[in-house]
Amino acid sequence: MRRQLEQVLHEFPGTKLNHTVFRHPRAGWLTIGQTVASVLDHTLHHQQQLNRISKVLKK
């Protein structure tokens, strides 16, 4: 999946960087850069949740 994302981003036309590509349910339309940042933030949020759950389960 990561390699596919890398390929998509490498092939993404530079002329479209300021165009919106994804409609976020709360934030509205996002550019490719904003979309990647949003996915990263969302993933990190879930990683923190998993870390907290893991700590509780180890007790």
Q: How far apart are CA 58 and CA 35, in angstroms?
A: 35
- How many domains does the chain fold into? 1
Distance of CA 26 to the CA centre of its chain: 14
Render pLDDT for 1-52 as a digit per residue (tens, 0 to 9): 889 989 999 999 999 999 999 999 999 999 999 999 999 999 999 999 999 9
List the domain range (segments joined by +) for residue 54. Answer: 2-58
Q: Quote the pLDDT of residue 39.
A: 92
